[in-house]
């Protein structure tokens, strides 16, 4: 058997002229998967390092192992860590590091989780991690991040990671191979939360794409109200439903929600996608550059995006830019 996490997924994608929209997002069930093994996020308890309290700050989560034996065939769970220095000091010193093995968990560390699979609690203290990558605590600034990669090795020696997995593991089953721990400024639960009106700042002209009228997040005039909802385990992350993406009723949104992460003075956004492809990934949107915001004023902020471009599903469509203004009601 190839050293791959093989996923047999019924996507039901039929292409017309190389592309086809679907009426609904793909439905993936565990019965449709041929499992290797992957760690599944059960609960994210603390998802960032608090810049105001780095000495006592920890990343904490609970995971279990999904395979064909309830985790009983997992021999090792390994975490590798690298430091990504996004706040290079005035002397120009870049403290970024390469990945190194940080910690190895074995069956003696596992116990039965709430879903019946073997799993464990993972606690990663800031002080311990900073010492591991040889970065002084006082050198860590807003936006710096510790990048974590995970591997699961089974008793038969097969190793599974993000590199030989598929997107269904993370999107459909809460798999968590690779993740970042960001140093940031925690927000109150009601900050950048609640109902926001989304309007365009600027937007590209509507055009026809495979005989459908297309424009970012729906045809204008756009004025949509969404609820920004805090994410459990993170004080800085908010989610909202994508709704119609590209044009109302034209294509089915497959991403579900967009996640925003407010890191002291910069807000980052996940992308959106549709169940539409020309054979190389799905068509979608992604954030352009970085977006600033006022930590003490949650009344409004703006994010720039690009449709197509690097997320064109292999269709060769040039990137089209637009911006969204979020205004609190």
* Domains in the chain: boundaries: 35-184, 194-328
Name, in order, each residue with C-beta under 8 angstroms of 91's C-beta and a sequence gap of 6 or more: none
Q: Mean pLDDT lowest for which of 56-60, 83-87, 178-182, 220-224?
A: 220-224
pLDDT value at 155 more than 90: yes
Instruction: Write the DSSP string, 3-65.
Output: SS-----------BTTB---SSPPP--GGG-----EEEEEEEEE-EEEGGGGGG-EEEEEEEE
pLDDT in tens, 285-323: 889 988 999 989 999 999 999 988 888 888 888 999 999
Query: Rounded to two decimals, what is the model's pTM?
Result: 0.61
User: Buried b / exposed e across 14-49, counting CB within 10 Å, b at 16+?
Assistant: eeeeebebbeebbebeeeebebbbbbbbbebbbbbb
Mean per-residue pLDDT for 209-228? 74
Task: Average the pLDDT over 250-277 and give the result.
Answer: 77
Q: How many C-alpha atoms does 76 have within 13 Å on its Cβ side?
A: 14
Instruction: Name the class of domain 35-184.
Output: mainly beta
Measured CA distances, 58 to 90, 130, 183, 276 (Å): 28, 11, 11, 40
């Amino acid at each position: 058997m190839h050293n791959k996490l093989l996923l047999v997924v019924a996507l039901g994608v039929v292409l017309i002229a190389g592309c086809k929209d679907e009426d609904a997002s793909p439905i993936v069930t565990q019965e449709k998967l041929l499992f290797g093994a992957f760690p599944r996020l059960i609960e994210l308890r603390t998802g960032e390092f608090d810049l105001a309290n780095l000495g006592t700050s920890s990343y904490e989560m609970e995971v279990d192992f999904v395979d064909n034996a309830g985790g009983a065939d997992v021999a090792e769970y390994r975490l590798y860590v690298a430091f990504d220095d996004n706040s290079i000091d005035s002397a120009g010193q870049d403290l970024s590091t390469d990945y190194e093995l940080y910690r190895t968990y074995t069956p003696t560390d596992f116990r039965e989780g709430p879903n019946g699979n073997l799993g464990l609690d993972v606690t990663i203290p800031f002080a311990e991690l900073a010492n591991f990558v040889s970065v002084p605590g006082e050198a860590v600034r807003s936006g710096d991040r510790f990048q974590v990669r995970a591997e699961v090795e089974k008793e038969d020696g097969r190793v599974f990671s993000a590199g030989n997995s598929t997107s269904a593991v993370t999107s459909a089953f809460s798999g968590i191979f690779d993740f970042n721990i960001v140093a940031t400024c925690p927000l109150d639960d009601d900050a950048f939360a609640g109902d926001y009106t989304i309007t365009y700042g600027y937007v590209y002209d509507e055009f026809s794409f495979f005989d459908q009228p297309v424009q970012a997040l729906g045809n204008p005039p756009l004025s949509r109200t969404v609820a920004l909802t805090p994410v459990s385990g993170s004080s800085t992350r908010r989610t909202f439903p994508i709704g119609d993406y590209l044009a109302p009723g034209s294509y089915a949104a497959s991403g579900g929600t967009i996640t925003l992460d407010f890191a002291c003075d910069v807000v980052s956004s996940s992308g959106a996608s549709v169940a539409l492809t020309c054979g190389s990934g799905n068509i979608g949107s992604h954030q352009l550059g970085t977006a600033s915001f006022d930590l003490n004023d949650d009344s409004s902020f703006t994010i720039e995006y690009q449709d197509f471009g690097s997320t064109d599903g292999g269709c060769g469509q040039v990137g089209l830019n637009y911006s969204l203004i979020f205004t609190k009601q």
